[in-house]
Chain A
């Protein structure tokens, strides 16, 4: 029977990961599918998982009164969605909505946190991978804030 291990190994987030870690992680993984317009999660809800997008597109949104939903970023195949499962108080700070039919692997955050606590080497590996994504997003946010295509002074 085919397990999710192969899909996990193929995803960019888990590139070159130790096979032994994959065997541990797969126990926290499940296959999920979202229809266009369906929300993966809402702001302030408990953040119990994160998603590795395989197909489709997700918009990360923030709802602003008098302005409506503002799309901060769109994510696609190969991207990771969500790290609030790792950082207390484990609540989402954004909404996430499928823009088209989206297939992803959901990883249970509580399950992962427990496994990372009992195996710090796995925890460190995972933390490095998440930090890499955080750094990329921080760079992207800086670039967005700079408004580089606007007029110079």
Chain B
């Protein structure tokens, strides 16, 4: 529990890395301390660009190497556009970590299925770091990643490394091909049929746009993965991050404190409802 959850802590930008034409990664450190930032995979922080505004961003770094604090996001609004312009040495306010995490401890012994769409790979990357660091505790590990085009592939160098490993099956697909692309074309749900996992002893973690998650859960079900072994990360307009303001209300829950990670059978009745 944070002592003062509404008070941003100043962090200094140590590194800015452009991932794709519209996504970037920030590496942050807290000045005056060597301590790292403890978090669990799937949690998020509120990042405050001084004078502009505050936005919720998932932590995309390694939970076992919590310094620097790593965030990857896409420049889509005023705050993230300002965030993209930050340079080494600039300051940023950080509140967090907030929210529920991917239940990797419950998945021990299971095959792990990670299904990511677009920027959804960022909140899942900490899971992969954890699983790879504790590789013998899990069965097969499958990463299925779909994105818009070859130019939109996030963490390209790491994906190449993961694809080269013998103890993980990493499949990538793009919705729209380009002239030089020799990989898979089609939506990420197509990969679920091809991946090697035991549906009865698997835990699936899914992150991406809600429509993509809808079809992913459907396809996982067709393969035999039950809803109570599927976890999704939801996104809404989070403001306070501690369940006070109600901006991120999702039925009887608040995404900021009851989520963002939910077991799918708990929210199935809400999922995809236009009114929610």
Contacts and interface: CB of A to CB of B under 8 A. Distances in A.
B87 interface: no
A76 interface: yes
Counting contact residues on chain B (CB < 8 A from A), the size range is: 20 to 34
Contacts of A139: 189, 215, 218
Interface stretch (B40-48, B180-188, B259-267): B180-188
B185 A71 contact: yes
Contact of B76 (A140, A147, A151): A151
A149 B152 contact: yes
A148 B209 contact: yes
Given A143-B212, A148-B117, A149-B117, A72 B185 contact: yes
Counting contact residues on chain A (CB < 8 A from B), the size range is: 20 to 34
24 contacts: A57-B184, A59-B185, A68-B179, A70-B177, A71-B185, A76-B184, A139-B215, A139-B218, A140-B189, A140-B190, A143-B211, A144-B175, A144-B176, A144-B186, A146-B211, A147-B175, A148-B117, A148-B208, A148-B211, A149-B175, A149-B209, A149-B212, A150-B148, A152-B76
Given A12-B193, A147-B175, A149-B118, A73 B218 contact: no
Q: A76, A99, A143: which has the most chain B beta carbons within 10 Å?
A: A143
A143 B189 contact: yes
A44 to B, nearest CB: 22
B194 interface: yes
Nearest to A99: B182
Interface in B137-165: 147-148, 152
A144 B187 contact: yes
Q: Report whether over half of chain B's contact residues are helix, strand or loop; otherwise say mixed.
A: mixed
Given A73-B185, A143-B187, 6 more contacts: A70-B177, A73-B190, A74-B186, A79-B194, A140-B190, A149-B147
Given A73-B190, A78-B193, A148 B118 contact: yes
A76 B172 CA distance: 13
A140 B186 contact: yes
A139 B190 CA distance: 10
Contacts of A144: 175-176, 186-187
Interface string B186-218: 110110011000000000000011011001001
A146 B211 CA distance: 9
A76 B194 contact: yes
Contacts of A146: 211
A12 B117 CA distance: 25
Nearest to B171: A76
A56 interface: no
Nearest first, the 3 A-B pairs at minimum CB distance are: A149-B118, A149-B148, A148-B209
Contacts of A27: none
Interface in A70-94: 70-74, 76-79
B187 A140 contact: yes
Contact of B193 (A59, A73, A74, A79): A79
Nearest to B193: A78
A79 to B, nearest CB: 7
